[in-house]
A and B are shown apart, each in its own frame.
Chain A
Amino acid sequence: MKMLHSFVPSLAVMLMAASGGAGAQGVLIDRSEIRFVAKQTGGGVEGRFRRWKANVDFRPKDPAKSRAAFEIELASIDLASEETESEVRRPAWFDTAKFPVAKFESTTVRGLGGDRYEIDGRLSIKGVTRDISVPVALKTDAGGNSVAEGQFTVKRLDFRIGEGMWADTDAVANEVVIRIRMVLPPVQ
């Protein structure tokens, strides 16, 4: 993966990296999250990924020069139970033995006015790559960190997630809402 320009890491990030953090570049990974909500027989099912890496260079004043890249370890999924977690690692779902990592790389970042931005990029899961667009809202928390929150919807069947009998979208809906929350330390 291409190393992207990143924020000068704060002491906290260096400590986290030293203590075996996920090797984030500039993202406060313990305070950030990649969550999702799927639908199973009509009811929402929450989950998240425990392990992922990020390279984010977010420049609110110069969005065009901003970059974001993610690598998500799919086997680190946190779902309702160990039974469902091991189910979705199987070939019919993520096939984590063959495709352990999902990747996102931004292609364009645009300011939409105010604190709103749109990140276009390419999402690759299970050997399938699709263009996606992620709207993001930027806030500043009490500690001066930038907090970027965004949500977008993917269709799991576009990525062959849930094949064979699991293509049944009444049992598990095609649309999966992905919610990201990235906490970035202040630029020094």
Chain B
Amino acid sequence: MGDYSGDMATHSTESTAELRDRARAAAPVYTRTAIALHWIAALLIVCNLALGVTMISLALSPFTLRLYAWHKWIGITVFLTAAARLAWRWAHPAPPAVAMSAWRRRVAAGTHAALYVLMLAIPLSGWVYSSSTGVSVVYLGLVPLPDLVGKDKALAGVLKAVHAALNFTLLALVCVHVGAALRHHAADRNGVLPRMLPFLRPD
């Protein structure tokens, strides 16, 4: 795709170290596709967290049932987006890490890995929870998804708690992720945030 502004691919004869230096000098950003998928996922996740908390606090009504349906559709979309991002990332590796201490790099890598796992696991936990209550999911009202388990009240109670716990974990990790990005940008001024928000670049 040649989406990197650093245009690294054409310098394949250079050593990895030279490549990294060039890349840093050019402050490569994520590909446009990776950036778009990241912000779509971010928007969907924030909306769906708010939607989930709202719908369970409302009395049952036809409108509430629709909120539940939308919540499931958005969740499945987050799953698809995360799968697409992993596939894209495998074919188009993330830009090289900026200079930072080893522990911060480890925390960043761990947080990113956990975010991917949760973006896949949370929609699945919601889907299997819905199945366990005897409610089938029809994605966008068009694509019937299979029931992953049979109706089972005891299992439903467990899966509801699992779905909620995973979401609280996600919320905590999103706070860490956003906090780290802001710290990189405001305190460290190391160009991490502009990789995902290219309009922040000074040039």
Contact = CB atoms under 8 A, between A and B. Distances in A.
B62 A166 contact: yes
A144 interface: no
Interface residues of A, number: 21
B163 to A, nearest CB: 13
A45 B68 contact: no
Contacts of A168: 62
Nearest to B63: A171
Interface string B49-77: 00000000000111101101100000000
Interface stretch (A75-83, A113-121, A175-183): A75-83
Contact of A46 (B62, B63, B141, B151): B151
Contacts of B135: 40, 43-46, 80
A138 B43 CA distance: 55
Contacts of A44: 135-136
* Central interface residue in B61, B63, B136, by most chain A CB within 10 Å: B136
Nearest to B151: A46
B53 to A, nearest CB: 16
A47 to B, nearest CB: 7
B134 A42 contact: no
A28 B5 CA distance: 74
B138 interface: yes
Contact of B60 (A43, A45, A46, A84): A84
Given A42-B141, A46-B151, A83 B134 contact: no
Given A80-B133, A81-B156, A87-B60, A42 B138 contact: yes
B136 A43 contact: yes
A19 interface: no
Given A41-B65, A42-B69, A45-B135, A83 B60 contact: yes
B137 interface: yes
A30 interface: no
A165 B61 CA distance: 7
Contact of B62 (A42, A83, A172): A172
Interface of A: 40-47, 78-81, 83-84, 87, 165-166, 168, 170-172
7 contacts: A41-B68, A42-B69, A42-B141, A43-B135, A44-B136, A45-B136, A172-B65
